[in-house]
Amino acid sequence: MIRINGESLSLKEVERIASGEEISLSEETFQRIDESAAFIEKLASQGKVIYGVTTGFGKLCDTVIPPEDAGKLQENLIKSHSSGSGEPLPERYVRAGIAVRINSLAKGYSGIRRIVLEKLVELLNKKVYPYVPSYGSVGASGDLAPLAHISLLLLGKGRAFYEGEFKDFSKIFHLINFEPIDRLRAKEGLALINGTAVESGISSLLIREAFYLVEASLKASSLSLEALRGRKEAFDLRIQEVRGYETQEEVAGFVLSQIKGSKLVNSVPRVQDAYSLRCIPAVYGAVLGGLRYAENIILKEINAVTDNPIVFMKSEDVLSGGNFHAEPVAFAMDHFAIVMSEVGSISERRVNRLLNPALSNLPPFLVKHSGLNSGMMILQYTMASLVSENKVLSHPASVDSIPVSADQEDHVSMGMNAVLKADKIISNIRRIVAIELLVSAQAVDFYGSENLGIGTKETYDKIRSIIDFAEHDREFSYDLEKIERALKERKI
């Protein structure tokens, strides 16, 4: 069980929660939560003009709401903002978003009661999967629509997955012994939906997956290096050291560990290799640097206060600001998209070399009796389509802004769009890595796997435990599905 205290949630813990691990609130959070909730309740009862507490929302911020309508205001907010569209987000992504929202609210700056957080925790621990459409967030005022769809369940409304389909939650919450909140109080609806939790929660999972896929891609590229009988001089650590990037040194060291003991590298008289081999340290080193930048941003975001207004108990102030604006997330995930697209781009070039007999000195398209057999020719076509789509998806979402709420919210981040694009790119990269693993293993067999290095032999053996060498043409999509599944389950 993971304890949430609002301060130290890690990306790895978000991933564990997304995969089903239960959580609990740390006792140290309760005093902060209770004090800020009591303070907001006091101000609301006095009729103080505070955004979202005794006023309307967005462009309606100048409309004052009577204290007796404070609860109704919050409930109406949840209902009206549940206006998303598109396919529902996967359960893991929704769980990640709920976990991050709980962590942010647990910091005690939001004026929300303990019972509301406890109900969110209960949803997670009972494995309730709310219906959350993919589209609706522009990444400013936070993830309003996605979080509103989640928050509906606290009121006994909305939809949740039950017995194989999404059902009206009002008809099933009693079946899981969930008791909805009788009513929301001042600011609670706004606190629930006004933050970047869903996009930063999903980003946490994407970044974790990206680090794994980059390692898998480096294993595939090491296998390709051997199959192409490349040179290892380009991985000499002295070359990396004089450039000064630690990540470049890490990559070179990793590849050297993979090919250690190889009889294939440096086995042909060649001065130097093509860039897709020789520049692996430079390219993948930059990729690692980009991922660590994104990781640092998202780590800050999942432990941040991102709603509005913010309650500062020491000075007894309630201040309106813009912490809900997801520009940091948007920038990070746009860069993430570019970085991961390059992993696919350089991988495709290596596969092209493996399949082209003029470049590889291997049989055309890596099959015996070519002509009668087309071999792995079309795998490169598939790869090209995936790489091309990633290039399109790498156009930054953050450079776009469409004003909303009658121009009160006149600049938005489009952070969720950046995240949704990144999600598609990660799926494509998994397929691309699967293709290079399939092709490079096939190529190695023409020389004999006994000539491989220590690490590459392990990778090769894993691939061969999943699929066999292709003696003749066959439906390679089945092979790809098996390798892709192994990658998805992190078995390679």
CB 134 within 8 A of CB 88: yes
| Lookup result for tokens 């003696």 | 471
Cα dihedral 425, 426, 432, 435 in deg (nearest 10): -150
Distance CA 431, CA 481 (A): 8
CB 138 within 8 A of CB 404: yes
Question: What pLDDT is stored for residue 211 in this prediction?
Answer: 98
Q: Which positions are catalytic?
A: 51
CATH architecture of 2-195: Orthogonal Bundle (1.10)
Q: Please, how many CA atoms are within 13 Å of residue 49, restricted to the half-sphere of its CB?
A: 5
Residue 49, number of CB atoms within 10 A of its CB: 12
CATH architecture of 202-488: Up-down Bundle (1.20)
Q: Which residues of the chain have pLDDT under 50?
A: none
- The residue ranges of every structural domain in the chain are 2-195, 202-488
Q: Please, how many CA atoms are within 13 Å of residue 186, restricted to the half-sphere of its CB?
A: 28
Distance CA 224, CA 227 (A): 5
Distance CA 280, CA 440 (A): 16
Structure tokens at 71: 């609860």
H or E element at residue 88: strand 85-88
| Lookup result for tokens 């992993």 | 343
Structure tokens at 158: 């909305």
| Lookup result for tokens 């990633």 | 390
Question: What pLDDT is stored for residue 59 in this prediction?
Answer: 67
CB 345 within 8 A of CB 448: no
Residue 103, number of CB atoms within 10 A of its CB: 28
Structure tokens at 115: 């019972």
Distance CA 69, CA 435 (A): 59
Give the closest residue to 25 by CA, choosing from 43, 5, 1: 5
At residue 161, the 3 state secondary structure works out as strand
Distance CA 291, CA 111 (A): 34
Give the closest residue to 227 by CA, choosing from 59, 49, 440, 372: 440
Give the closest residue to 96 by CA, choosing from 154, 147, 141, 166: 147
Mean pLDDT of the chain: 95
Q: Please, how many CA atoms are within 13 Å of residue 428, restricted to the half-sphere of its CB?
A: 28
21's CB contacts (< 8 A; 6+ apart) are 1, 2
Helices and strands in the chain, H and E counts: 18, 8
- DSSP assignments along 339-369, one per residue: HHHHHHHHHHHHHHHHH-HHHHSS-GGG-TT
Structure tokens at 29: 């959070």
Question: How many whole angstroms from its chain centre is CA 181?
Answer: 31
User: Could you check whether 2-195 and 202-488 share the same CATH topology?
Assistant: no
Distance CA 119, CA 106 (A): 13
